[in-house]
Structure 1
Amino acid sequence: MSRSRSPVVPGWFDPDAAEFHLLGTRCRACGAVFFPREEVFCRNPGCAGGELVEVPLSRRGTVWSYTDARYRPPAPYVSDPDTEWRPYTLVAVELAAERMVVLGQAAPGVSVGDLEVGAEVELVPGVLNEDAGHTWTTWHWKPIADGRGEAP
């Protein structure tokens, strides 16, 4: 049986693109770039523009902040209480070209001990959840290997 695959949030990234990247929008009037995407109006309070175009965002950036999520969040967070909680690492990354900060999970196997503020990371495709019939895809941040081929 084949599993169906879909992005956890449609329109935030294209899981089938040749080069994986997040999708934002840019205002044609002022040049401001947004993530998540905007479809209706420019979020820049000083701009009355409304013509927005889809743009791929930088695949690399620097760690702005990070933390780990060791405990299951309380309600209203939705999760199956019968499944084991798996801690994960959250990373806030300042995108290289756009200079905006985007939050995401660290790639599997990356812990807070592998990160430091200012370290370079890259965007990689990931899986948020899967069951017998479906896989929900997402993005992860992964430290970029140094010149010796080792992750920091």
Structure 2
Amino acid sequence: MVAGWFAGDGDDFRLVGTRCSACGSVFFPREDLACRNPSCGHGDLTEVPLSKHGRIWSYTDTRYQPPSPYVTNPELPWQPYALIAVELEAERIVVLGQAAPGVTVADLAVGMEVEAVPGVLHEDAETTWTTWNWRPTGVAA
């Protein structure tokens, strides 16, 4: 898990970003040093939970295994996955992430509503690396 990028699980799961008090810009991943808006007076940054829902802005099907530091299980064959860019409802920012397991590009369309759900990036005997996934609304976990 990347500390501070998301919190909760199940229905309480949320991506976590930051909002600038001076200009109102919202950032994900979070920003802890200074506002990234070049025309801002650099206000204080406050942690904020981001919208759980958004609409697909774009998507693609990955057909190659990403290089390190992406972690894969060497005992299992690599499986392609859908990568989705989602515009969050309230924040009007685009956040990239993998589709939930079992969701393929055939299940997706630009403008479709999706929700952020907890996911597992990789696990071994000692550690489970958690992440977020995008899942079309109305699809059971």
In the TM superposition, what is the alpha-carbon distance from 1:18 to its structure 2 partner?
Answer: 6.6
Matched pairs, number = 139
| Structure-2 separation of matches of 1:70 and 1:92 | 17
Distance 1:17 1:31, change over 3 A: farther
Question: Where does 1:34-73 land on structure 2 (aligned, <5 Å)?
Answer: 34-73=27-66
| Structure-2 separation of matches of 1:22 and 1:108 | 18
CA contact (8 A) 2:10 2:117 kept: no
Q: What per-residue deviation string (whole Å, max 9, x for no partner) do you get for residues 125-148 of structure 1? A: 111100011111100000012xxx
CA contact (8 A) 1:40 1:50 kept: no
Runs of 4+ in 1 over 3 A off after TM superposition: 15-18, 75-83
SS of residue paired to 2:14: coil
Q: What per-residue deviation string (whole Å, max 9, x for no partner) do you get for residues 39-59 of structure 1? A: 111111111224100000000
Q: What corresponds to 1:131 in structure 2?
A: 124
Q: Relative to structure 2, which stretch is displaced further, 119-128 or 13-22?
A: 13-22
Percent identity, aligned pairs only?
Answer: 62
For the aligned residue pairs, the C-alpha RMSD in angstroms reads 2.0
Q: What per-residue deviation string (whole Å, max 9, x for no partner) do you get for residues 45-82 of structure 1? A: 11122410000000000000011112213x55555584
1:117 paired residue among 102, 110, 114? 110
Q: What corresponds to 1:33 in structure 2?
A: 26
Give unmatched runs, 5+ long, in structure 2.
none
Question: Given the alignment of the two structures, is residue 13 of structure 1 paired with residue 6 of structure 2, yes or no?
Answer: yes
TM-score (norm: length of structure 2): 0.90
Distance 1:110 1:133, change over 3 A: same
TM-score (norm: length of structure 1): 0.83
CA contact (8 A) 1:121 1:142 kept: yes
Distance 1:66 1:120, change over 3 A: same
SS of residue paired to 1:113: helix
Give unmatched runs, 5+ long, in structure 1.
1-6
CA contact (8 A) 2:71 2:122 kept: no
SS of residue paired to 1:63: strand
CA contact (8 A) 2:53 2:89 kept: yes
Distance 1:64 1:10, change over 3 A: same
